[in-house]
Structures are given as structure tokens and as C-alpha cells.
């Protein structure tokens, strides 16, 4: 009914006046004086939803941010209502025409008041709208004592699934409150969270009450479509399909790994030999930056099959990284060998010595001096995965891990791939046939020979 056409309009006009008015009321979302725009047809469909979880958009240009902002303000005039709108970083929030700027243009002419310190708009009727960001995984805990009735994620595919699902714990209300509990989001395809968003809303969504409202450029009559299409024509074919068509099947793939190679299992064999490999690439994030991660991947082998049991990651100071390495070692236990990529030069030696004597004393630990490019080091692990001999033990880290692998080597992040390559290299060190070792072949030449012969 929301899609207008000559036949549907004629059918509506044929209804008795009372039924027409009732139908119009049912198809009109709750609005108030703080929402200055009339919703488009697709935005109205999004605003009418009464389910807890819904996702809007797909293509570029259908008014995703406006729709999300309208949803956040629907109950802004009601006492006790609290809404939270999130972007990946503060810079994303504060750009011209971004959420904070857009909201200011809507609310400044009203009686709502802005509080800069808390980044919150307050309605005289008692409602609030707060802006926040989740630049790091741990930023989600900034909201652990808060309660909201509406939480909105703008550009959801920039977030991790664990950031998103944690915020459900902040979605609550007092008994008898007259506002619904809603988790709403909007995004284009692509970016690091592409796969989990697609899985959650397009694959699992219909069966779990998660509603996806697809919208494209033609659903927004307020945008200059021709000029925007010309701008999108400058993009590569994959990005153009994602942004112009809202195509969730279009992905930038690196070609070395495919998601379907990795079977997900509930547990690894009890006799597996385990090792954890650390890549200390992470630095502390700062506003406007997207630094690498320190990643520690735990891999085991049993019967010629390799199992990835866990990935730990952090972006923080060297002290924070060291604390995570130590805590993880304590949890893994001393039977799990630990290896760490050693940077070249005296600084790399000093770091390994520090971990050996101060952080991991009592554990089986050694630095690993690597050679060759990241692609060369990942090739043996890729071959084993393609053969179906690498399995993943079920855990919350899997989505981010597969996203990174699938984009490698073109993706922005390579830390988990480096850690996987290192763990695999360590566990296969004893797998070189004795005859070849006697013949004087090194591990590197053995693998190169294996690649050359398929």
C-alpha cells in the first residue's frame, strides 16, 4: 500500500470516507514539531515499524540519515524518553551535513536546548537525544550505566557485530512507559561489517523479526539524481553496484581467501597441539585515525587439520597490549606455546626481550623473525584453507576475522591475517619431511617448492 500507483490510488478513493481516514491514520507515522520534513514513502515505512530491530537503506541517496534522525525524534516530545545516535567516530558525527549538523538545523528553530558537554539535545517536554561514537571495541562500555529507549547506528557496516549487540543491553524502559524500545540502523553495503549486517538482516532477518527496508536513490525525490549518478559513475564497478544499486552481493575480494573455505565447528579435538601468535601492530586510536590492531590468534593442529580457536585484539598503548598478552597467556595456560613477530633491528630485539623476561616469564615464548611479504607469508595458510583443512571454533571473533581474510591483501587491515600466517608457520615447522630437511631445504624453500608444484 505504501507504493503509490494509479490503480491503488483509485482503490483508496473508492473506499467510504471513514475507511479512508482510518487507512490514512494507519499509514501515517507518529510525527511532531521537531521533525520538519515530510517522510518519503520508504522513510514512512521505516517510521511505522513497531518491531524492536530494523534496518534501512542499502543504496546511496535514499535519505538514510534523515530517516534515522526522524525515527530518533518521533518520541522526543515525551517525558522520560532517551535516544542515542551513534557513528563510528566523533569526526563522522561533526562533519558538515552529518548527524549533529543536520540535527542542529532541525532543532535550533525550536524550544529544544543543546548541551555541548554531553552532546545532548533536551526537549522541554522531557525527552533527550544524545550523540555518541564507538571508535574502538571498548568504547561500547562507555554506555554501560545508561538506559535508552531508542538506539540508532548510522552507517552500521562500519561497526563490529559485538559493538552492535552489546548496545541491546542499554535498551530498556520503566514499567508503564509509553514509548517503544527500538534499535534502528542505516547503511550502505561494503565496509568491514558488510557480512554480519547482511547475515543479520537479509539472511536471518525475516525469521527473527528483524525488518529490512530497502531503499534506493529513486526513493528520494529531494535529491538531484542525475548529478549524483554522474558522481557515482566515477567509482569502481563493485563500489558503484553497492552504492547505486544497493547490491549486497557485490564485494571487494582479495582473492587469497574465501569465507566458504572455513567450516565452523563447536570445538577442536582434545589432542590438538596449540600455539598463539601475536602481531604487535596496534596503536592507541585518536580522533580521526583508524590505526592497526594488536592481534593474537590461537591455532591448533590435530590429524592434519588446523583449528583456529580464538582471536584477541586491541588498539591501545604498549602497556595495554602487554596486559592483554599476559592475561591471554594465563587463560590459555602454559601448554600453549607463544610466538610473536619480531620487528627488525635493535628495537625488535628489545621488545622480545622485554616480553620474555618481564611479561611471559614461565611460558614457552619466542620471537619470530619474518621474511618475505605479507602475501608470501600468507600463501601456505591460504592453500591449506582452500583444501578445507582449516576450521574455526565457534566464537564472537569469527565475523571480523573472515571479513579481514576475504579482503586480504586489498583491505585496510591485515593484522589477523599476519597472526594466522605466523601461527600456521610455527605449527608446520615440524611438518617438513625428514628427507627434505636432510637434503638441506629450508622451510621457506620447501613451501615455495610446494606452491610451484600446486
pLDDT of residue 371: 86
* End-to-end C-alpha distance for the chain, whole angstroms: 58
Supply the mean pLDDT for the chain. 85
The grid coordinates of residue 203 equal 539472511
pLDDT of residue 398: 93
Instruction: Check pLDDT > 80 for residue 267.
Output: yes
The grid coordinates of residue 126 equal 522531557
Instruction: Check pLDDT > 80 for residue 7.
Output: no
- Each residue of 358-394: pLDDT tens digit? 999 999 999 999 888 888 899 999 999 999 999 999 9
Q: What are phi and psi of 24, to 5 degrees?
A: -60, -40
**Assigned CATH topology for domain 259-452:** Nucleotidyltransferase; domain 5 (3.30.420)
Q: What angle do CA 20, 23, 25 make, to 5 degrees?
A: 110
The grid coordinates of residue 198 equal 547482511
pLDDT of residue 252: 58
Q: Angle formed by the axes of helices 99-107 and 64-73, to 10°?
A: 50
Q: What does the domain layout of the chain look like in residue ranges?
A: 1-28, 31-245, 259-452
Spatial separation of the C-alpha atoms in residues 70 and 64, rounded to whole Å: 10
User: How large a percentage of the chain has pLDDT more than 90?
Assistant: 54
pTM of the model as a whole: 0.56
User: How large a percentage of the chain has pLDDT more than 70?
Assistant: 83
Q: What are phi and psi of 453, to 5 degrees?
A: -100, 15
All residues at 6 or more sequence positions from 367 whose CB lies less than 8 Å from its CB, including other chains: 339, 340, 341, 342, 348, 349, 352, 355, 356
Spatial separation of the C-alpha atoms in residues 154 and 161, rounded to whole Å: 14
Instruction: Check pLDDT > 50 for residue 438.
Output: no
pLDDT of residue 8: 47
Spatial separation of the C-alpha atoms in residues 127 and 273, rounded to whole Å: 56
Mean pLDDT of 226-251: 72
- Each residue of 108-117: pLDDT tens digit? 999 999 999 9
pLDDT of residue 206: 87
Spatial separation of the C-alpha atoms in residues 2 and 8, rounded to whole Å: 9
More confident position, 22 or 47: 47
Closest-CA residue to 154 (of 187, 130, 129): 187
The grid coordinates of residue 68 equal 534515522
CA 204 to chain centre: 17
- The CATH H-level (homologous superfamily) assignment of domain 31-245 is P-loop containing nucleotide triphosphate hydrolases (3.40.50.300)
Instruction: Check pLDDT > 80 for residue 439.
Output: no
Amino acid at each position: 500500500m505504501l507504493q503509490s500507483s494509479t490503480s491503488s490510488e483509485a482503490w483508496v478513493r473508492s473506499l467510504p470516507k471513514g475507511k479512508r481516514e482510518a487507512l490514512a491514520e494507519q499509514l501515517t507515522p507518529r510525527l511532531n514539531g521537531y521533525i520538519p520534513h515530510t517522510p518519503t514513502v520508504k522513510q514512512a515505512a521505516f517510521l511505522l515499524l513497531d518491531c524492536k530491530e530494523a534496518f534501512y537503506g542499502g543504496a546511496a541517496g535514499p535519505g538514510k540519515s534523515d530517516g534515522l534522525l526522524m525515527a530518533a525524534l518521533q518520541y522526543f516530545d515525551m517525558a522520560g524518553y532517551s535516544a542515542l545516535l551513534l557513528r563510528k567516530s566523533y569526526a563522522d558525527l561533526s562533519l558538515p551535513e552529518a548527524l549533529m549538523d543536520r540535527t542542529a538545523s532541525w532543532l535550533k528553530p525550536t524550544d529544544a536546548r543543546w548541551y555541548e558537554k554531553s552532546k545532548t539535545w533536551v526537549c522541554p517536554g522531557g525527552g533527550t537525544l544524545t550523540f555518541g561514537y564507538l571508535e574502538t571495541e571498548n568504547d561500547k562500555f562507555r554506555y554501560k550505566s545508561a538506559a535508552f529507549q531508542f538506539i540508532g547506528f548510522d552507517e552500521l557496516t562500519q561497526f563490529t557485530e559485538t559493538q552492535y549487540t552489546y548496545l541491546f543491553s542499554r535498551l530498556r524502559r520503566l514499567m508503564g512507559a509509553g514509548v517503544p524500545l527500538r534499535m534502528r540502523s542505516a547503511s550502505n553495503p561494503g565496509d568491514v561489517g558488510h557480512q554480519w549486517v547482511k547475515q543479520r538482516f537479509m539472511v536471518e532477518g525475516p525469521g527473527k523479526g528483524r525488518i529490512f527496508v530497502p531503499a534506493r536513490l529513486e526513493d528520494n525525490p529531494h535529491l538531484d539524481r542525475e548529478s549524483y549518478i554522474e558522481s557515482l559513475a566515477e567509482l569502481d564497478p563493485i563500489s558503484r553496484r553497492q552504492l547505486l544499486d544497493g547490491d549486497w552481493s557485490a564485494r571487494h575480494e582479495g582473492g587469497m581467501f574465501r569465507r566458504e573455505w572455513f567450516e565452523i565447528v563447536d570445538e577442536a579435538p582434545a589432542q590438538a597441539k596449540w600455539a598463539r601468535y601475536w602481531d604487535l601492530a596496534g596503536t592507541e586510536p585518536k580522533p580521526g585515525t583508524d590505526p592497526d590492531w594488536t592481534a593474537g590468534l590461537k591455532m591448533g593442529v590435530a590429524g592434519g587439520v588446523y583449528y583456529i580457536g580464538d582471536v584477541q585484539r586491541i588498539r591501545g598503548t604498549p602497556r595495554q597490549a602487554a596486559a592483554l598478552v599476559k592475561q591471554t597467556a594465563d587463560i590459555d595456560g602454559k601448554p600453549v606455546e607463544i610466538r610473536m613477530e619480531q620487528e627488525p633491528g635493535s628495537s625488535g630485539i628489545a621488545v622480545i626481550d622485554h616480553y620474555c623476561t618481564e611479561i611471559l616469564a614461565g611460558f614457552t615464548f619466542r620471537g619470530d623473525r619474518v621474511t618475505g611479504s605479507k602475501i608470501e607469508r600468507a600463501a601456505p595458510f591460504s592453500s591449506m584453507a582452500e583444501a578445507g583443512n582449516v576450521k574455526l571454533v565457534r566464537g564472537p571473533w569469527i565475523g571480523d576475522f573472515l571479513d579481514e581474510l576475504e579482503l586480504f591483501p586489498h583491505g585496510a587491515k591485515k593484522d589477523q591475517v599476519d597472526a594466522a600466517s605466523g601461527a600456521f608457520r610455527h605449527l608446520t615447522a615440524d611438518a617438513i619431511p625428514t628427507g627434505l630437511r636432510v637434503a638441506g631445504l629450508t622451510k621457506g624453500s620447501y613451501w615455495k617448492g610446494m606452491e610451484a608444484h600446486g
